[in-house]
Amino acid sequence: MNRYLTIKNNIETEIVVKKSKFIANFIKVTSKEQAEEEIKKVKKKYFDARHNCISYRVLEDEKIVERFSDDGEPSGTAGGPMLNILQKNNLVNVLIVVTRYFGGILLGTGGLVRAYSDSLQTSIEESTLLELTIGTECEVKLEYNYFEKFKYYCKNNDIQIKDTTYTEEIVCKIEMEEDKKEKLLKDYALKNLNFLDFKVLSKKYIEKSIPK
């Protein structure tokens, strides 16, 4: 199983190279459709810029979808080098859009590669990175009066409550690493957990903090 990294939050950074301004938007995405929508938003925001160069890698169905564009810069000077950096860092579910406002001084192909690469590298260095590890998504149904105890159990066992629906009962979607799932299943079998219903939904990559 490959070890992948992603970012916790979106981040915007800026560098200036020989009067050209490079604005990098490093954006968290979970699908190629979302990535394309985010590209449209950034291009609309910086509609007066000469170039909006992009690269993204998205993990879908355990396969990586990649795309890059030089957006009018000389071929191989922007999108491709940024994609190479994402690949070398094993970063997925991320989109980088670097907007360039031309400062009047030509940078040459080597200068452009360095500028776009440095823009992305700066964003990576200023981001909080998370590890993606294989885990399991489950659904539990429980009584309202048991919810606080269940939240306490999840906190103590590194289980994430990703979604909660309030009806006649409470329905929670939870995510956890494989070893945490085994403990939960054991506690459920021993009736240490008071669920009205429990089911395993699917395996999936889940986010995990990286120890400092």
Query: How large is the average pLDDT for residues 94-98?
Result: 97
Express each pLDDT in 29-84 by its tens digit: 999 999 999 999 999 999 999 899 999 999 987 789 999 999 999 999 999 999 99
Residues 6 or more apart from 96 whose CB is under 8 A from it? 24, 25, 26, 27, 54, 55, 56, 82, 86, 119, 120, 123
What is the structure's pLDDT at 212?
59
Express each pLDDT in 9-33 by its tens digit: 999 999 999 999 999 999 999 999 9
Express each pLDDT in 127-186 by its tens digit: 999 999 888 999 999 999 999 999 999 999 989 999 999 999 999 999 998 888 889 989
